[in-house]
Amino acid sequence: MPGFLKEFFNRNGTGMGLAILGLVLFWTIGLIILPQLSMLDFSFRPNLPPPEIGGPKDVYTLENYKYLVYGPEGGSQSYNTVDLRVFFRTLLAAVCVTIFNLILCYPIAYYLGQSKGSHIRIFAIMLIIPYWINEILRAFALRIIFGETGVLNTLFTGLGIWDTPFDFIRNDIALYAGLGYAYILLMIFPMYNVIESLDKNQIEAARDLGAPWWRIHWRVVIPYAKPGISSGCTMVFMLSAGALAAPQILGGPSSLWFTQLIYQQFNDNNDWPQGAAYAIVLLVTCILFVLAVMRLFKVNMGDIGK
């Protein structure tokens, strides 16, 4: 038995040590690692009916990944333009949602982190309450507002700003507003935690030395808050790229989110390997993208999640 294991059991006792080790192994290996590997393996297999699984036809193939790039074999187009467009549109929209949330939330996080008083507690509660409401219901609330006879359209046509109802849903405005709305808290809290620990004297020193307010933010606050900003952005990006409820409820009929394609492969086409391949592509692309952006802004992986 290796030394550290022996020490572990000495410290926790055999029974407790086994319980802890068992639970941790079940979680890390049984729930996190093996299912992901199993999905990866599955994505390289053809879609077979259950009796043929494990048979001679069950060989590794790149078919599912090829499908995403080139489309069905013998198809009219040389590339699978529909799915690829959905894929890139999803990534681009997730980036836009993240930037929008960052700009929206940074002043709030700064204000909450730097001012004292009992009203801050009230603001914190008001921030958390929407987050406790079901994701579906939040999307539903936005649908009531953005619908064709919704509050906004009634308001604006009533005021005479535009004559015919504007279709927010078909123009994806409702979708972006909904995605931004869903993840505000995940953007604010990491930033707030970091900015709260910023010494006020630093800001005052910068001000005394004559820096205008925007330079104080640019040179003092933002560099200090970088870990918080990057974890907030990472979470919002990953979650909005992987969102399913908001696109299903708020998305227009013609615009799809990549997760909806995965959902269709699983539930409508019953092609699990294809769906698994799409999921792998989404996961790997998102992780690579986040790592690339983090390297671009010189943020360490260890800062995330603090």
Question: Taking CB under 8 A as the criterion, which residues in 62-91 touch another protein?
Answer: none
132 near another protein, rule: CB under 8 A: yes
Shortest Å, Cβ 75 to another protein: 25
Burial of residue 293 (CB within 10 Å: 0-12, 13-18, 19+) is: middle
CA separation, residue 129 to residues 97, 133, 182 (Å):
21, 7, 12
- Of 75 and 133, nearer to another protein (C-beta) is 133
CB distance 158 to 214 below 8 Å: no
Please name the residue ranges forming H helices in 115-221. 118-132, 135-146, 151-159, 173-182, 184-196, 200-208, 213-216
Tokens 């890139």 belong to residue: 88
The minimum distance between CB 77 and another protein, in angstroms, equals 27
Q: What is the DSSP letter of 147?
A: S
Instruction: Please name the residues in contact with 189: beta carbons below 8 A apart, sequence gap of 6 or more.
Output: 232
Which tokens is 262 given? Answer: 């995965």
Tokens of 104: 């929206």
Scanning 74-82, 197-205, 222-230, 268-276 for contacts with another protein by CB under 8 A, the matching segment is 268-276
Query: Judged by CB, which is closer to another protein: 84, or 145?
Result: 145
The only residue of 184, 187, 220, 229 in contact with another protein, by rule CB under 8 A: 184
* Min separation Cβ 73 and another protein, Å: 24
Binding mask 216-235 for another protein (x = CB under 8 A): ------------------xx
Binding track over 14-33 against another protein, x by CB under 8 A: xxxx-xxx-xx-xxx--xxx
List the one residue from 59, 76, 117, 134 that touches another protein (CB under 8 A): 134
Is 80 within 8 Å of 70 (Cβ atoms)? yes
Cα gap 144→61, rounded to integer Å: 46
| Residue closer to another protein (CB basis): 26 or 88 | 26
Considering only residues 44, 65, 100, 140, which one is a binding residue for another protein as defined by CB under 8 A? 140
89-118 positions binding another protein, by CB under 8 A: 104, 107-108, 111
Residue 266 binding another protein, by CB under 8 A: yes
